[in-house]
Structure 1
Amino acid sequence: MEKAIEVSAEKRSFVLSEDWAIVLLSFVIIFVSLFVFVSPVPAYGWKNGHDLFEKVFSAGNLSSIVIQFISTYCIGILAAYFTAKKIKHFLIVFPVVFIITLVAQIVAGNSEVKLLNLEAVIFSLSFGLIVGNLFNLPDWFRSVLSAELFVKIGLVLLGTSVIFGDILKAGSLGLIQALLVVLSVWYFAFWLCKKLKLDDELSMMLSSAVSICGVSAAIATAGAIKGDNKKLSYVISLVLITAIPMMVFMPYIAKYFGFSEEVTGAWLGGSIDTTGAVVASGTLVGETALKISTIVKFSQNVLLGLAAFAISIYWTYTKEKSEAAAESKPTLAVIWDRFPKFVIGFLAASLLFSFFLSQDSISQVKDSLKSIQTIWFVLAFTSIGLETRFSDLTSKQGTKPLFAFLLAQLFNIIITLVVAYFLFG
């Protein structure tokens, strides 16, 4: 897989990192909406069979769905090109993902389902999990699934609806929360791993994943310590699989205990390890919870560069004693390299819509961009479902890493709730 990507990248004159591709393509969507064409908003609400065919499957609504498919397909193809993925595989995979996503949105649009407060992301994830675990999908199919890319495009578009002043207010509190939670959870997780006699590589990756931002943190840590890819793959599987019940049940727990949307959003954003799962859980609670949870998660993501730099220094001076290691000491450039660039896109979108556009311009594109944002989020969760295999939990590592991860995650949930309550309550 890695060799194929390298060869593909060599043949292309213009290759971007995934985060920069996300920023570029998100602003292509925004500027096309503002100055070229406002994409129609498909309707998915229905009550009965007659209603389904009259509203959802009407000629006008089907044309809106087709337009949305074509636009997202084109953006996805450009993303595959810029990030050096195999376009011929993407051309096959994306329509499958879109069809599953479309079915999920139609199911979620039923009036009876809406009463249960079940959003489309729950169904897209469920359908993806069923297909991904019942059928033996080929490696080339899974290799072009782009859950992180899809959800980050949706997050940059979310910036168009978040007032910049809210970011400054929630972001400052979120950064305080992130510092408190990341430090306490990381040290607890690392201490627990050492008590269970896990090796240093696995301990570092697991501690970073559970405390900072899940998959991205695990990958950054593995890169900093030149970790074993098999151990990294196992940690990523743990993150993805445990995020699923957390994103489904935590919003209902918050509702049961009567937490405010601000506290709930901060709790979700600080404790759920994947950005996509944070978005899905925030959506289940409400608009305010979605915005707060996203900003808090961004605050944790911002710390990723600093964390990778600190881990690089620790590993170089304590574990690597060779001359080769001494010649490749980490520099401050690690901080910028690991900084999540899509956060810049989110902030830029918020600045644009907060200060530079008229209310008339915003009102013309608001519903369309909201619909486009939603489709990218739901596409992301279809992809997560297709990528996730429960069999990955059966590992030669044994049950100790799983036990350590779950216990550290429980500690994370409790400490984050306490901090969120005092800061956002």
Structure 2
Amino acid sequence: MSTENTALNNSAALTDSGIVSDKKTFFRSITEDWWALILGFIIIGVVLYLTRNGTNISLPAYKWTSQTDLFEKILSPANLLLILETGIVFLVLAGFAIFLSGGNVLRFTAGFLFIYLLATISFIIGGNKNVAYYGLEYVVFALLIGILLGNLIALPAWLKEAVRSEFYIKTGLVILGTSILSADLIKAGLPGVIQAVIVVSAVWFFSLWLSRRLKVDDEFGIILASAVSICGVSAAIVAAGVINGDKRKLSYVTTLVLIMAIPMMVILPWAVKYFHIPEVIGGAWLGGTLDTTATVTAAGDLVGPVAVKAGVIAKFSQNVFIGVAAFFIAIWWAYKKPKNNGELAASIKVERPGLKVVWERFPKFVLGFIVASLVFSFLLSVDTAKSVAPALNGLRTIWFAIAFISIGMEAKFSSLVKLQGGKPALTFVVAQIFNIFWTLLWSYILFGGYLLPVPDFK
């Protein structure tokens, strides 16, 4: 996919039919961002309509604890049928955009179903209770499966047609907006909000500053900074989507996040107990440093129930800043990045673009993300938002799994290992260490009763 993002389909995939109708020309001119926004809104609208009319939306089950559970629950005929039905729905939605964009629908269908099968395998592996306990989510296995396949074989044309990671990611991100609710900020209280603002902003700018000092490019630096400061993989996906970042870099950062999460999930709860850090402060610390709600919950459980509640609420307040960060990163990047790329752009002075150019470069799917968040925060009742959350979160996760299989296929392992001489990894580790100590300081100040009353999480 070109960085210009001029259409969902590249020119090689367009049918060579000579003169095309105005209608075909119109549909083929719709950019990938707009297709992601359209499909995201279709999914959200259908789920809302069905839920309000009393229809229960069932998604496949992937969580299991034993071999018996695997065969009787996950691999049961009913669940396998549900997996197949879900895949067909996703194929129809994605195929709709591919068809109107002039892509080869037959090749796409074959490739998409294969990628969906691999994504399903990653869900099943990641759904095991013992695997999940160590913080190894489906993302790890989706990436590994994709990387192994992409590096061991030459991808056939029918499979390449369906490897469209940015399209899948952006569609999932529009749906993600429904889970970023302003009510979470209220729930977090003033200490949680202040901690989120101070931690996210300070760690983000420190990470970007450090990446520049180590001569890591800004594209990489933004993805790294967002992952460290906000919420790991989700923030990295958002940042990469906003700036049309290199998928190898997103894969690299995602791998770093997941590798770092495992020791942090064990060491931080141990530090809370060893240094006799009050439980509420320890929970806020875990919520501000660990990258997912699942790892915060698991680590908090090693400390105590108050730590779990404080950690989850602190993480919620931090997650809300994904939308804010996406909006400002999109504007800054659109204004900063030269229209022409390569060495020529680096060797000449490029004039700052005006508002029209900024709008042209602004990733339109971010608008869908923001609109979805605003609608679910202020226009829908809390009960309605909660009722559709499981279905929308499940659907969004499937888009992400398909995207990470695709990212793995596109990323060459040798390039991941050699990427910028290990400097991005050093940046990430140092920034994460800064994040750990900076967040601990503000957890003491804000949740220790020094400036504000201690929140009651009992």
TM-score relative to the length of structure 2: 0.68
Unaligned runs of 5+ in 1: 194-201, 224-231, 270-280
Q: 2:258 aligns with which of 247, 270, 281?
A: 247
Task: Give the corresponding residue for 1:145.
Answer: 163
Contact 2:60 2:82 survives alignment (8 Å) = yes
Change (3 A) 1:359 1:267: closer
Contact 2:47 2:388 survives alignment (8 Å) = yes
Q: 1:407 aligns with which of 414, 426, 433?
A: 426
Change (3 A) 1:21 1:285: farther
Change (3 A) 1:112 1:76: same
* Aligned AA (1:5): N
Contact 1:171 1:295 survives alignment (8 Å) = no
Between the aligned partners of 1:261 and 1:378, the Cα distance in structure 2 is 29
Change (3 A) 1:156 1:29: same
Aligned to 1:62, what secondary structure does the other structure show?
A: helix
User: Hey, which of these two has a bigger chunk of helix by percent?
Assistant: 1
Task: Give the corresponding residue for 2:410.
Answer: 387
**Is 2:108 the counterpart of 1:90?**
yes
Q: 2:150 aligns with which of 132, 135, 143?
A: 132
Change (3 A) 1:80 1:290: farther
Task: Give the corresponding residue for 1:20.
Answer: 34
Between the aligned partners of 2:365 and 2:287, the Cα distance in structure 1 is 20
1:184 Cα deviation after fit = 3.8
1:69 Cα deviation after fit = 1.1
1:239 Cα deviation after fit = 4.5
Between the aligned partners of 1:89 and 1:64, the Cα distance in structure 2 is 24
Q: 1:78 aligns with which of 75, 96, 115?
A: 96
Aligned to 2:30, what secondary structure does the other structure show?
A: coil
1:253 Cα deviation after fit = 0.8
Change (3 A) 1:354 1:255: farther
* Aligned AA (1:13): F
Aligned to 1:392, what secondary structure does the other structure show?
A: helix
Worse-superposed segment, 247-256 or 76-85: 76-85
1:295 Cα deviation after fit = 3.4
Unaligned runs of 5+ in 2: 228-235, 273-281, 298-311, 445-458
Contact 2:268 2:286 survives alignment (8 Å) = no
Worse-superposed segment, 356-365 or 375-384: 356-365
Q: 1:104 aligns with which of 115, 118, 122?
A: 122
What does the per-residue CA deviation read over 1:259-282, in whole Å, with 9 as the maximum and x for residues that have no partner?
86665565466xxxxxxxxxxx55
Contact 2:200 2:318 survives alignment (8 Å) = no
TM-score relative to the length of structure 1: 0.72
Task: Give the corresponding residue for 1:373.
Answer: 396
Identity %: 27
Q: 2:211 aligns with which of 176, 186, 189?
A: 189
Worse-superposed segment, 87-96 or 50-59: 50-59
Contact 2:288 2:439 survives alignment (8 Å) = yes
Task: Give the corresponding residue for 1:257.
Answer: 268
Change (3 A) 1:101 1:421: same
Task: Give the corresponding residue for 1:5.
Answer: 10
Task: Give the corresponding residue for 2:326.
Answer: 301
Change (3 A) 1:97 1:363: same
**Is 2:61 the counterpart of 1:60?**
no
What does the per-residue CA deviation read over 1:160-207, in whole Å, with 9 as the maximum and x for residues that have no partner?
3443233688788656555544544434433433xxxxxxxx855555
Q: How many residues are matched?
A: 385
Change (3 A) 1:262 1:29: farther
Q: 2:355 aligns with which of 332, 345, 363?
A: 332
Contact 1:162 1:350 survives alignment (8 Å) = yes
Task: Give the corresponding residue for 1:41.
Answer: 59
Change (3 A) 1:423 1:145: farther
Aligned to 1:123, what secondary structure does the other structure show?
A: helix
Contact 1:302 1:339 survives alignment (8 Å) = no
